[in-house]
Amino acid sequence: MEWETSWIDHDYDDGKKETKAFDSYLELSDEECKENNLISIDLVLPDDLLERILAYLPLASIFKAGCVCKKWNEIIRSRRFLWNISTILGPKPWYFMFTSSDEPVGHVYDPMVPKWYSFELPDIGISSWFIASSCGLVCFMDNDSRSELYVFNPITKSRKKLKEPPDSKFSDYSTLAMSVDRSSHSYTVTVIRSNQAPGDFIQWDLSLHVYYSETMTWVSHVAETLTGWRGGDDSVICGGLLYFLVHSTRGMGWTGNRHGLVSYNLSGQSSGDALINSFIPVPCPLTCGRLMNLKDKLVMVGGIGRKDRLGIIKGIGIWVLNGRDWEEVSRMPHKFFQGFGELDDVFASSGSNDFIYIQSYGGPALAVFDMHLKQWKWSQKCPVTKRFPLQLYSGFCFEPRFEVSP
């Protein structure tokens, strides 16, 4: 496995006094090592206990620990250790932030430490992608042809290029979703394409294509024409259902919400016209919506729009879908909302387990919401430098896992 062993950590003072991180083994001086190495630690601790201790180190320190000696290197590469560390690391997803450049480099935020690290993704050559993640795997689809797809593990750097989906011609709007089975590690990738019907702005042709890793094949599930709505805003797989947002195409005279939610049963038991019957209204006027699967619950983070001017964002809310009803979990406090500076009506947001990350495209500020504690906070300051005024930032979250591969 191609593990990154030279991460640079970034720890910034955000105005609060923090406890200094304990020095890693590699940061001890030679004199200290000689004085404290009278008895080898390997003779004192049994291997299984040593494995557990190493598994609780920050991930960057684990990579460094693999350079200490041959035995430690063998331990951290063993199958049992990879399984143990994944059970420890899994609850808190990382957030990878990058800028609009052609290089697959950026910074990753580890909320357990908390710190930012310089981080590099597998080089796949294109900077503009649709991104979806699940259980340690990330799927990228290029924004140009929208037919080139990769699945990879950001930690181990293992990757796989998928076959082109059917009907891979360029689409006006597309959205990507992914789901990994936590037991078998098989995965499902869905691509929704939406194209304007010839000569009719109201009608949009929607198609759904599903990739199954077990058979390494694509299956086309839906080809339907929607009236008054188009797909392609955002999508997620949750509990065997594919949920995706649709956007109204009824023009200036439309007085209802501009967004709606549609669900589709990926088991194949739904018929094409079931899309219309599975329409779920959104809880309030939205400027944008971001869908995510948090512990098999559908969660939406949305920009709250003004009723008189729907394109103007006045806040950010978080909702959980219960049946066909939305339950509001929290609204971003005004001081956090103001902390983004000038916030557009659209923004980046993704989440996993109990954590939700929210980021403005115009800057590197990153807000974190803990669903369990119902608590808002800022991440540590990301060590990126804005090189020009219109530079854009984006990102996605993923679970740091060793044992999953595409």
Q: Is the pLDDT of residue 102 over 70?
A: no
Q: Which of 87, 107, 127 is the last residue of a domain?
A: 87
Predicted TM-score of the model (pTM) = 0.83
Domain co-membership, 170 together with 314? yes
Q: Residue 58 — very low, low, confident or very high, per pLDDT cuts 50/70/90?
A: confident
Q: For the segment 228-279, what is each residue's pLDDT rounded down to a tens digit?
A: 898 878 999 999 999 999 998 877 666 678 899 999 988 865 444 556 568 8
Q: Is the pLDDT of residue 24 over 70?
A: no
Radius of gyration of the chain (CA): 23
Domain co-membership, 108 together with 71? no
Domain co-membership, 128 together with 59? no
Domain co-membership, 191 together with 55? no
Q: Residue 293 — very low, low, confident or very high, per pLDDT cuts 50/70/90?
A: very high
Q: Which of 47, 72, 87 is the last residue of a domain?
A: 87
Domain co-membership, 346 together with 366? yes
Q: How many domains is the chain built from?
A: 2
Which domain does 374 fall in, by range? 90-398
Q: Is residue 403 part of a domain?
A: no
Q: Residue 143 — very low, low, confident or very high, per pLDDT cuts 50/70/90?
A: confident
Q: For the segment 378-391, what is each residue's pLDDT rounded down to a tens digit?
A: 999 988 877 777 78
The more confident residue out of 128 and 377 is 377
Domain co-membership, 238 together with 376? yes
Domain co-membership, 213 together with 360? yes
End-to-end CA distance of the chain: give it in Å, rounded: 13
Q: What pLDDT, on a 0 to 100 scale, did the predictor assign at position 74?
A: 80
Nearest-angstrom CA–CA distance, 401 and 87: 9
Residue 201, strand partner residues: none
Domain co-membership, 200 together with 310? yes
Q: Which residues contact 307 (CB under 8 A, 6 or more apart)?
A: 285
| CA atoms in the 13 A half-sphere facing the CB of 124 | 24
Domain co-membership, 78 together with 97? no
Domain co-membership, 234 together with 147? yes
Q: What pLDDT, on a 0 to 100 scale, did the predictor assign at position 18?
A: 42
Q: Is residue 5 part of a domain?
A: no
CATH value at residue 148: 2.120.10.80
For range 365-394, the mean pLDDT = 89
Domain co-membership, 143 together with 72? no
Q: For the segment 341-355, what is each residue's pLDDT rounded down to a tens digit?
A: 777 889 999 999 999
